Structure formats: C-alpha cells, structure tokens
C-alpha cells in the first residue's frame, strides 16, 4: 500500500474532484464529473436542476444507443485505427462548445413563445437573445438537432473542467507530449 501510494493518490483525486475520500472508490466517473461541474457552475451563479423520478420517466427516449465493436484478434498487415473514446468525447465537447451552459435547445423549439420541454425539465430562451444571434456565425447545430452558441457568445463550463483535468493529468505525467495553454 505504501509502495503504490494509495492514500496519497486517493487524496489527490478527492481534492481534484471535490469529493470525499470514500467516494473516490465507490462512486462512478459521472459522479466525479458532476461534482466538478457543479462546483464551477456555482461560482458562475448557475443553479443545478435535480429531476424527480417522475420527470425522468417522462423524458424522451434516447435517439441512439452507442455501439462499441470489439476488434477481431488476429495479425493485420494494414494499419488499424483505434479510437480512444475517453479522449474523443472531451475533444468534441471542446471543439464544438457543447455544454449545458451553451445549449439553446432543439432547433424546432427555438423561437417558440415561452418555455419548452427539454430533457427532464423545461428551457426558456429569451426572444431577444435569439434575435441577436446570426444563425450561420453564432450557432452550432449538433447532428441530433440541438443548438449551441459558439464560444465567442458564451464560453462553456465543461471546457474549463476538461482543460483543468488535462492540466492535472499532464502535471502528474499522464500526457507528457500534450501542452495546453
């Protein structure tokens, strides 16, 4: 235990994620990310939404289910591309400014009067904001039809969290060849 520095590393994880020592071992990665996200969101005066069980059951069904294919074990004479989804998802989030703080909702709902159903709850986007945006320059529409404002309109919280995590991992030697400024 001393050679692995289990206590030291666990304390470091607990500090970075802002969670209790016990939760580092017994809670999943979603809990860790949410705890960091909520801590940063609180500093920016965002209020978190906690859905009831009834609200969760009333949500739309997922549009697709991720599919992971296991490669066939054999000798390949041609190059094989291996995608690391743990790095891919953060890269997509950063590149396209995808975050709950930059979300405008589904394209078909934008511009409707009042609030509209979105996820477990409802979302209200002021008409004044929509009218001030240039659809070509200020908005990114994801393949599933959800719109996000681009970084020059609003910076996302998730990007800040991911960059912070990358810097901590680089400091600890996980990514020695990546430099983030």
Residue 92 shares a structural domain with residue 148? yes
Q: Give residue 148's pLDDT.
A: 93
Q: What are phi and psi of 51, to 5 degrees?
A: -80, 145
125 domain-assigned: yes
- Give me 168's structure tokens: 């901590």
For the CA atoms of the chain, what is the radius of gyration? 20
67 domain-assigned: no
Report the number of distinct structural domains present in the chain.
2
Q: What are phi and psi of 124, to 5 degrees?
A: -125, 120
Q: What is the mean pLDDT of the chain?
A: 80
Residue with tokens 């549009």: 63
Low-confidence stretches of the chain (pLDDT < 70) are 1-3, 65-68, 82-87, 168-181
DSSP classification of residue 110? T
Domain containing residue 153: 87-174
138 domain-assigned: yes
Q: Give residue 65's pLDDT.
A: 66
Q: Give residue 141's pLDDT.
A: 93
């Amino acid at each position: 235990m001393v050679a692995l520095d289990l206590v030291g590393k666990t304390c470091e994880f607990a500090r970075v994620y802002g969670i209790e020592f016990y939760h580092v071992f017994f809670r999943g990665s979603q809990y860790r990310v949410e705890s960091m996200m909520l801590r940063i969101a609180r500093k920016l005066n965002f209020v978190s939404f906690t859905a009831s069980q009834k609200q969760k059951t009333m949500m739309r069904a997922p549009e697709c289910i991720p599919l992971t294919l296991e490669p066939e074990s054999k000798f390949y004479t041609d190059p094989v591309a291996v995608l690391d989804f743990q790095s891919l998802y953060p890269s997509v989030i950063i590149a396209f400014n995808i975050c709950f703080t930059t979300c405008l909702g589904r394209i078909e709902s934008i511009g409707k009067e009042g609030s509209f159903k979105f996820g477990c709850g409802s979302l209200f986007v002021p008409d004044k904001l929509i009218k001030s945006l240039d659809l070509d320059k200020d908005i990114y529409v994801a393949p599933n039809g959800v719109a996000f404002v681009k970084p020059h309109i609003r910076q996302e919280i998730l990007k800040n969290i991911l960059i912070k995590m990358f810097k901590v991992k680089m400091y600890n030697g996980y990514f020695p060849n990546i430099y983030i400024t």
